[in-house]
A and B are shown apart, each in its own frame.
Chain A
């Protein structure tokens, strides 16, 4: 199993390298750069000087080599848009994205799993059917549509603040105030991300429970006199959890892709929003840095999925299935 995971790790690292290099090279090839914005107010000589300072006039190969050398030291260069190191910016923003993603993940779990256990353990009933209908509805609300809908709802009713992570609050804010403020801004983007995931979890959990309840030992435990609920929680659920676990790694990946559009719509200051702004301003190093970290998180997610799967599925462990 160790070799398998190692190989997958190598694969993940390759992915990060290829994606970030490609985005650096591609962005470089695109017309216009960060100095274009200044061009109107600078004469050609000072423009050339500015480009030299920023290293934009060097040949592509040289620029790439020095960028790569920096990346090894986790130095992604300087953002020309914000005049700050790219790594600092990404660090801050990645934290926000991570916060959003983890809240969404928890939300999806809290909603999805219990409903899944419930609907899976019932063979019929209005409750089960309602869960099914809700789940198929939620599954049909991709983050783009979900965030637009929720933002509309919030803007219309004024129940929750729209846009950003915190309100432009006073500077002498206590931690508690900040937390409350954050908690009011989180629901919309988190829910937009969590809805389809919760539905996916519900379905998987439901199927898994259904299968598990048919296992002989669960039936046996019921025969021993355990109540329905007890048998479910103590025996069926742990068995079913195994197949659900494998999904989490994949979900991290989809959370990451989904968070791009949610962040753009709700102005959440995360990685996706940063990449969007960087692309618009053609901030070369920032685009490459964002793509690199994006690929990194995705690769990490995929790898985690592999690890979880390896633990959950004995077949992967034993025969190193690809």
Chain B
């Protein structure tokens, strides 16, 4: 019986210890980093190591068959194109073609190649260009670039009168013109010729191939790949580009891409200064976490402006899917989507989902895409009355005791939204949509799926509605016919139609074809504005808010030209500089 008081005593003792510990701990200031002061002067232009993170590993280094970000990232650093679209200015710039002449009918381009060499010393010639086209168009290779290097489904024709000249013929007039060649990642004939002949091109340059096989034409060469750990890129001493002072680019000696699969871990490492930059934007909710570092001058937080790939919400508009469904009568009607657009308070949406860092939008082209944005598309003001009137017009009314609407046959106004799991902004978007439609009497069930499962359902057409994000590779809509044309493979609400299912889709098809085959920029813009108007009237897909994009990068990194599309910083890796060269750790 005298156990009890003693136990009590010890509990008290422990409590006391815990309490003093807590007092002491809570009295501590937030971790004051006692690291060395950053010196802002002495910017060295040459040398140094830049460390980035990479969320996933490449599955292959073969840019021609593999379309994953890590592969594209590696290709950005080690490969080159004939011309390139400057990601910051959207202007066409010469790359390995130093100049070109367009024929009067805009269908033939004669390009003069630069004197350049692959990283192993082999000269770069027109034979490499011919070889690249041959490989991409080879059906056995099944290149992912083939689709993007065709005009109206037809391949380009290529001839090479001599080693320095290439003549490229288009099957028809194409609006973006030579910009199309930005998709042409050049392949080394002397390394890959045998694989193409043997029919093994698509397996070449796998992750297990020796790194010295992968010769480079870009600013860096892949010098080491440690699976699960990192990719190391050394400067390519044979890179052709020089800066205005005649200094050979790139400035950096080395870029290290550390594989950090976890988004939170990635942020922690950026905070700790172990990596200099991330390969994607900083989420709005993480900005407060990084703010103290910005204040201490250790980190720069770049605001890139409004993003160009907003999250999109769309219904399944394939009629057969709804044929046996009692909701088929109203759920694919335009008025239903318009009612939803009216019911969403976009300001409040931006506040909840992006913590205020977003702008309301009414169509797929955001203000971030300055060249193509149209401020005049029909807008749907936040108005529950208008929404309710539209729903009443569809015969939806509350006919029983619950809070949801029913149609005249008693079917409840309810649908399921699929979204990506783990994408915090999408999960919040879908939840906000659910909450916003509730006062209207429309019930929404949100289901978060893994990316793969969701995309599979989308392709099969096995979904009611989806809230997700789709990244376009170019800002010029003429470069994404797969989204705009009703026959396109990314016409997400009704993929790959044989003939346009609706009158307005036919109109958009016609306008887009005209727009793509026109070279007059004003005319193209006028046509595309019409497309945007038709789109906003019919709302095959609903857009609510475009987020502002932020990039976090260490203060030791300089000469940045951020772009809105990925990779936002390393697209111009050859000009990036770092302070305190020599260590990968950035001397913090």
* Residue positions of A touching B, CB distance < 8 A: 31-34, 36-43, 46, 49, 82-84, 92, 124-126, 129-130, 132-134, 155, 157-158, 161-164, 167-172, 267, 269, 277, 280-282
Contact = CB atoms under 8 A, between A and B. Distances in A.
Interface stretch (B161-169, B259-267, B508-516): B259-267
A279 B207 CA distance: 23
A295 to B, nearest CB: 24
B60 A83 contact: yes
A168 B260 contact: yes
B459 A39 contact: yes
B57 A82 contact: yes
Interface string B1-42: 011001101110110000000000100100101000000000
Interface stretch (B118-126, B293-301, B396-404, B447-455): B447-455
Contacts of B31: 157-158
Interface stretch (B83-91, B227-235, B306-314, B346-354): B227-235
Interface stretch (B178-186, B268-276, B554-562): B268-276
14 contacts: A37-B455, A40-B455, A40-B458, A42-B144, A84-B227, A125-B6, A126-B6, A133-B11, A157-B28, A157-B31, A163-B265, A170-B49, A171-B232, A269-B228
A84 B144 CA distance: 22
Contact of A83 (B59, B147, B455): B59
B453 A82 contact: no
B452 A129 contact: no
Contacts of B11: 133
Contacts of A269: 228
Contacts of B262: 163-164, 267
A124 B9 CA distance: 12
Contacts of A38: 67
A57 to B, nearest CB: 15
Contacts of A92: 228
A124 B51 contact: no
A281 B275 CA distance: 26
B10 A82 contact: no
B207 A130 contact: no
> Top 8 closest A-B pairs, CB basis?
A158-B31, A163-B265, A36-B452, A170-B584, A168-B258, A36-B456, A129-B10, A32-B453
A203 to B, nearest CB: 15
B450 A83 contact: no
Contact of B453 (A84, A158, A169, A282): A282
A167 B459 CA distance: 40
Contact of A130 (B14, B227, B274, B459): B14
Nearest to B451: A37
B106 interface: no
Residue in A38, A125, A134 with the greatest tally of chain B CB atoms within 10 Å: A38
A40 B459 contact: yes
B452 A37 contact: yes
Contacts of B458: 40
B343 to A, nearest CB: 29
A280 B450 contact: yes
Nearest to B226: A171
Nearest to B52: A168
B490 interface: yes
B585 interface: yes
B450 A281 contact: yes
B199 to A, nearest CB: 13
B10 A39 contact: no
B489 interface: yes
Interface string B480-497: 000000000110000000
B265 A267 contact: yes
B535 to A, nearest CB: 21
Contacts of A134: 14
A130 B10 contact: yes
A33 B14 contact: no
A20 to B, nearest CB: 22
B51 A49 contact: no
Contacts of B230: 168, 171
A39 B232 CA distance: 30
B25 A157 contact: yes
Interface string B205-246: 011000000000000000010011010100000000000000
Contacts of A41: 67, 144
Contacts of A40: 455, 458-459, 470, 490
Residue in A36, A130, A167, A168 whose Cβ sees the most chain B Cβ within 10 Å: A168
A36 B455 contact: yes
A267 B7 CA distance: 39
B7 A129 contact: yes
B6 A32 contact: no
Contacts of B10: 126, 129-130, 132-133
B280 interface: no
Contacts of A267: 261-262, 264-265
Interface in B546-581: none
A126 B451 CA distance: 56
Contacts of A170: 49, 51, 256, 583-585
Nearest to B289: A155
Looking at A43, A133, A134, A170, which has the most chain B CB atoms within 10 Å of its CB?
A: A170
A133 B7 contact: yes
A82 B70 CA distance: 12
Contacts of B490: 40
A171 B256 contact: yes
B56 to A, nearest CB: 9
Nearest to B254: A171
B456 A31 contact: yes
B132 interface: no
A168 B264 CA distance: 14
A177 to B, nearest CB: 10
A206 to B, nearest CB: 15
Contact of B269 (A36, A82, A168, A280): A168
A156 to B, nearest CB: 8
A271 to B, nearest CB: 14
B455 A167 contact: no
Given A269-B228, A282-B452, A126 B13 contact: yes
B447 to A, nearest CB: 13
A42 B495 CA distance: 13
Contacts of A39: 455-456, 459
Contacts of A280: 450
A132 B100 CA distance: 83
Contact of A49 (B3, B142, B224): B142
B6 A129 contact: yes
A172 B60 CA distance: 25
Contacts of B147: 43
B586 to A, nearest CB: 9
Contacts of B268: 155, 161-163
Given A40-B470, A129-B10, A134-B14, 4 more contacts: A39-B455, A40-B459, A42-B144, A281-B450
A268 to B, nearest CB: 10
Given A157-B31, A171-B230, A34 B6 contact: no
A163 B270 CA distance: 12
A112 B61 CA distance: 50
B53 interface: yes
A82 B584 contact: no
